[in-house]
Amino acid sequence: MRAMYKAMERKGVKTLENSQLHNGPFHKAAVTDVQFGPMRLQQDQLQVLLVFAKEDSQSNGFCWACEKAGFTCNIARTPETALESFVDKHHDIIIIDHRHSRYFDAEALCRSIRATKPSENAVIIAVVRRQSDRDEASVMPLIAAGFTRRYVENSNIMACYNELIQLEFGEVLAQFKLRACNSLFTTLERSQEAIEITSEDHLIEYVNPAFESTMGYQKDELVGKELTEVPVNEKKSDFLDTLNSCIKTGKEWEGIYYAKNKNGDNIQQNVKIIPVFGHRGKIRHYVSICRPCNDNNKAEKQRERVQAECQTDLQTCRHKDRRKGSLDVRSTTSRGSDGSSQRRHSSMARIHSMTIEAPITKVINIINAAQENSPMPVAEALDRVLEILRTTELYSPQLGTKDEDPHTNDLVGGLMTDGSRRLSGNEYILSAKQIHPVPGFISTFSLTDIPPRIAQAMENEEKWEFNIFELETATHKRPLVYLGLKMFARFGVCSFLNCSEATLRSWLHVIESNYHAGNSYHNSTHSADVLHATAYFLSKERVKQSLDQIDEVAALIAATVHDVDHPGRTNSFLCNAGSELAILYNDTAVLESHHAALAFQLTTRDDKCNIFKNMERNEYRTLRQAIIDMVLATEMTKHFEHVNKFANSINKPLAALEESEGSIGEDDSVKNVLTTPENRILIKRMLIKCADISNPCRALEQCIEWAGRISEEYFAQTDDEKRQGLPVVMPVFDRNTCSIPKSQMGFVDYFITDMFDAWDAFADLPNVMQHLDNNFKYWKGLDERQLRSLRPPPE
Ligand code: AMP
Ligand code: ZN
């Protein structure tokens, strides 16, 4: 035999090492790369232990085969040396001579080897005698002793070699991969995230120590049990249903999950459940990775710090002294934008473009994913974001409870709640309201022959400073018909609707007649005022760029009808009083639903005033939809939703585009933002909302008049509530004690400033904003003077 290996005798073990210089056809590298799932492993040269009491042709056959295969080969002559050698070297293959029981008990040796930990991954072969077919013995005793399989004696070097090669690519390779799993188990055992593995049938197969400590259970109490058996969560079966339907398709599930630990405490966790595909391409396991939402004090502190930092940032962005943390539109618009807000926006845009799941689920999933790679403070801040997304009325800022001015509190409570939250159970029914039919006689003036005083009062109707109260006086409280005729003519409404001026006039008459002249605020002058503001906004360049004529017509009609038959009481009042309307509309958007529904009833019940009668059906449906949408948008419980959606979908993308000014295709991009159907809806909603509550932005004299009128209407409601023993919705609006300046500052702070900031950033309204500023200063000055006059004079 060529001296290709160096022999070494040590405690009866002979080591035969293959030469690295071997360059025959069977040469192999000492180290082989093995791919195991996503892991790349390196397999060392295989080590073989031969246990043969005596050298013979069979042991030589294996020695030679080892050499040929490039494996290291040790030979042991006794069971003791074999065991010692194995414990020392952890051979991959052990071949034990099982033919001669007189030398040693091969099965006993195999059992002893199997009793050692490293034998877990060793392949042990028994060399057995060749037997006649008749005497073929069972392999069971061998298997029971721990042998992997048997080798029927055959000293042919090629037979030995083939056996070794089959082992190398069969059992040995499999065992080598299994050995690598130890590192994976170690990872699981040491992971700080709670991990649970279940079978396809939701049988718990594994939980790691972090899972045990989070849930307060011992491994043994969980492993082997069905998920539904363990009271980790009361709603587990519901959850499993959801989970099943969600991941049947092989997708991951990720979300927030409330589990109960052994003590019965609720634990809020971010959970990721991953199906693991296995045999026959089926899901064979589910791996759940859970991270408690607030896991320790340190994290809590970090979170508080991040929050504090965020708040500081917000406060420094704000320029109005009393504005609340509802929205910072300015910082997202062209005037105050920064690159990061745009970047944030573009990722938001990507989020919105996904359509598979509910958007909120996608948002939560994306935040969860972002948390994975984020530093602790960011991850904790995102936890807070998730909490808000899950639990809060998303668009309504929360009022600071204690130090909030009671005027603001009452206004917010009065305007932003409806029956579902304020119902008193008082079943008082408001008397059914008479609807005013089309008057038999309508003065037949036309635009060409309106009385000079009225014509004069409407002269500057294209300006913001137009005075609606002069028109109210000149028309003896019928401003809507006159202003309506003039404005609808300016926008070509009759020709769009294909109706006569006479029909339009009748319609305006009917609508105006159904406003309550007795209301101090919600009368037809308010409607005419909103119509004026609407027309003013429609003539702004950006708005014209965005809307089609059908949108303009819808906006003008919506403004005209938006408060028709308003009873001079708020939604809350109607719900508390159990009014017919509240019952009809289920305490939800009661007045706005009524205004829209009644407007169409009044219009379509009589051809004489039906301005839609000549419209093509589809166009009518589109127009009707747009009008209803705008009237419903005036409902104040949805105020922040509309404003925030506008800021996010219109202001932010426009700001981003303006920032990249001059880039190719910018005009097209702006046009795209402005004219998508969804964005046109948002623009129209914002337009009518701003028109509806634009009175704080009117010239000072008018602003004061409106403030007086709305306050009077609120006072009358409070009087009524007290008289009828109903809950007082806005107690500060008591005519004996109310501070109108304070109420106006509260209204502006809470509802107006942010909204007009966003609208101004879009439509460019410097004069409107100037009035708003002046008026606010006026109320502030008045409030301070009132306070001074109430203070006792210095001694
Ligand atoms: P609408 O009933 O459609 O006019 O909705 C606008 C809401 O804002 C109404 O509930 C008004 O009472 C309220 N509002 C309008 N202007 C003021 C103001 N200056 N002060 C307080 N509340 C106002
Ligand atoms: Zn209104």
pLDDT tens, 353-371?
333 456 776 687 788 778 8
Question: DSSP letter at 398?
Answer: P
Q: In order of start, what are the domains of the chain with their CATH numbers?
A: 2-187 (3.40.50.2300), 191-294 (3.30.450.20), 318-389 (no CATH), 408-786 (1.10.1300.10)
477's enclosing H/E stretch is: none
Residue 633 pLDDT level (bands cut at 50, 70, 90):
very high
Segments in 168-231 forming alpha helices (H)? 173-190, 209-215, 219-222
Arithmetic mean of pLDDT over the chain: 82
Q: Is 747 in the pocket of ligand 1 (CB under 6 A)?
A: yes
Higher pLDDT pick, 556 / 350 = 556
pLDDT of residue 143: 95
Residue 326 pLDDT level (bands cut at 50, 70, 90):
very low
Cα of 716 vs centre of ligand 1, distance in Å, is 15
Residue 516 is among the residues annotated as catalytic for this protein: no
pLDDT of residue 792: 73
State which amino acid sits at residue 611.
I
566's enclosing H/E stretch is: none
Q: Is residue 646 within 8 Å of residue 638, measured between CB atoms?
A: no
Segment 285-308 mean pLDDT: 57
Statement: residue 331 has pLDDT above 80: no
Q: In angstroms, rounded to a whole number, what is the distance separating the alpha carbons of residues 635 and 592?
A: 6
Q: What residues have CB less than 8 Å from 645, skipping those under 6 apart? A: 395, 682
Token pair 């080590």: residue: 47
Q: Is 633 in the pocket of ligand 1 (CB under 6 A)?
A: no
Which residues are 31's β-sheet partners?
Answer: 44
Catalytic residue (one of 91, 407, 522, 562): 522
Residue 277 pLDDT level (bands cut at 50, 70, 90):
confident
Greatest mean pLDDT among 107-121, 376-390, 661-675 lies in 107-121
Question: Residue 273: what are its φ and ψ, rounded to 5°?
Answer: -120, 125
Which of 636, 729, 740 gets mutated to test ligand 1 (max ligand atoms within 8 A of its CB)? 636
The structure's pTM equals: 0.56
Q: Is residue 464 within 8 Å of residue 770, measured between CB atoms?
A: no
CA distances from 705 to 126, 303, 483, 522 (A): 106, 48, 20, 13
Cα of 694 vs centre of ligand 1, distance in Å, is 9
Q: Is 570 helix (H, G, I), strand (E, B) or coil?
A: coil
Question: Residue 568: what are its φ and ψ, rounded to 5°?
Answer: 80, 15
In which region does residue 43 sit, left (phi positive, over 0), alpha (psi from -120 to 50) or beta (all else)? beta
Q: In angstroms, rounded to a whole number, what is the distance separating the alpha carbons of residues 210 and 224?
A: 18
Statement: residue 775 has pLDDT above 60: yes
State which amino acid sits at residue 721.
E
Which residues are 95's β-sheet partners?
Answer: 50, 125
pLDDT of residue 242: 59
pLDDT of residue 203: 85
Please give the span between the terminal C-alpha atoms of the chain, in angstroms, as a whole number: 124
Residue located nearest, by CA, to atom 18 of ligand 1: 707
Higher pLDDT pick, 423 / 421 = 421
Statement: residue 335 has pLDDT above 60: no
Q: Which of 69, 60, 61, 58 is nearest to 92 (CA)?
A: 69
Higher pLDDT pick, 681 / 21 = 681
Residue 713 Cα: closest atom of ligand 1: 12
Spell out a b/e string for 455-485, using b for 16 or more CB atoms within 10 Å of the CB, else e.
eebbeebeebebbbbbbbebbeebbbbbbbb
**39-79 pLDDT, tens per residue?**
888 888 999 999 999 999 999 999 999 999 999 999 999 99
Q: What percent of the chain has pLDDT over 70?
A: 78
Statement: residue 176 has pLDDT above 60: yes
Which of 747, 752, 775 gets mutated to test ligand 1 (max ligand atoms within 8 A of its CB)? 747
Q: In angstroms, rounded to a whole number, what is the distance separating the alpha carbons of residues 247 and 266?
A: 25
Q: What residues have CB less than 8 Å from 298, skipping those under 6 apart? A: none
Statement: residue 344 has pLDDT above 50: no
Q: Is 160 in the pocket of ligand 1 (CB under 6 A)?
A: no
pLDDT of residue 306: 37
Q: Which of 315, 322, 311 is nearest to 750 (CA)?
A: 322
Q: Is residue 96 within 8 Å of residue 124, measured between CB atoms?
A: yes
Question: DSSP letter at 521?
Answer: S
Cα of 563 vs centre of ligand 2, distance in Å, is 5
**141-150 pLDDT, tens per residue?**
999 999 999 9
Here the tokens at position 557 are: 């009609």
Statement: residue 221 has pLDDT above 90: no
CA dihedral 197, 201, 203, 207 (to 10 degrees): 10
Q: What residues have CB less than 8 Å from 1, skipping those under 6 apart? A: 64
Segment 333-342 mean pLDDT: 38
Q: Is residue 142 within 8 Å of residue 126, measured between CB atoms?
A: yes
**695-745 pLDDT, tens per residue?**
999 999 999 999 999 999 999 999 999 999 999 999 999 999 999 999 999
Q: Is 634 in the pocket of ligand 1 (CB under 6 A)?
A: yes
pLDDT of residue 148: 95
In which region does residue 274 sit, left (phi positive, over 0), alpha (psi from -120 to 50) or beta (all else)? beta
Residue 703 Cα: closest atom of ligand 1: 19
CA distances from 701 to 470, 748, 749 (A): 12, 17, 20
pLDDT of residue 434: 63
Q: Is 710 in the pocket of ligand 1 (CB under 6 A)?
A: yes
Statement: residue 106 has pLDDT above 70: yes
Of the listed ranges 207-221, 270-284, 687-701, 751-765, the least confidently predicted one is 270-284
pLDDT of residue 392: 62
Q: Is residue 540 within 8 Å of residue 764, measured between CB atoms?
A: yes
Residue 133 pLDDT level (bands cut at 50, 70, 90):
confident
Residue located nearest, by CA, to atom 13 of ligand 1: 693
Residue 443 pLDDT level (bands cut at 50, 70, 90):
low
**Order of all β-strands in the sheet with 13-16:** 7-10, 13-16, 72-76, 47-51, 93-97, 123-128, 149-152
Statement: residue 187 has pLDDT above 70: yes
123's enclosing H/E stretch is: strand 123-128
Q: Is 87 helix (H, G, I), strand (E, B) or coil?
A: helix
Q: Is residue 666 within 8 Å of residue 660, measured between CB atoms?
A: yes
109's enclosing H/E stretch is: helix 106-114
Residue located nearest, by CA, to atom 19 of ligand 1: 707
Q: Is 636 in the pocket of ligand 1 (CB under 6 A)?
A: yes
Q: What percent of the chain has pLDDT over 90?
A: 54
**509-553 pLDDT, tens per residue?**
999 999 999 999 999 999 999 999 999 999 999 999 999 999 999
Higher pLDDT pick, 447 / 601 = 601
Which of 411, 693, 705 gets mutated to test ligand 1 (max ligand atoms within 8 A of its CB)? 693
Segment 335-349 mean pLDDT: 36
Q: Is 707 in the pocket of ligand 1 (CB under 6 A)?
A: yes
**566-592 pLDDT, tens per residue?**
999 999 999 999 999 999 999 999 999
Sequential DSSP letters for 719-746:
HHHHHHT---S-TT--TTT--HHHHHHH
Of the listed ranges 233-242, 458-467, 585-594, the least confidently predicted one is 233-242
State which amino acid sits at residue 589.
A
CA distances from 682 to 393, 580, 633, 687, 688 (A): 19, 31, 10, 8, 10
Residue located nearest, by CA, to atom 16 of ligand 1: 693
Segment 381-388 mean pLDDT: 81
Higher pLDDT pick, 36 / 400 = 36
Strands 93-97 and 47-51: parallel
3's enclosing H/E stretch is: none
CA angle, residues 182, 188, 190, in degrees to nearest 5: 100
163 burial via Cβ count (<10 Å: 0-12, 13-18, 19+): buried
Residue 314 pLDDT level (bands cut at 50, 70, 90):
very low
pLDDT of residue 328: 45
Q: Which of 390, 82, 378, 64 is nearest to 256 (CA)?
A: 390
Q: Is 696 in the pocket of ligand 1 (CB under 6 A)?
A: yes
Q: Is 779 in the pocket of ligand 1 (CB under 6 A)?
A: no
Helices first, then strands: H and E counts in the chain: 35, 14
Higher pLDDT pick, 82 / 234 = 82
Statement: residue 759 has pLDDT above 50: yes
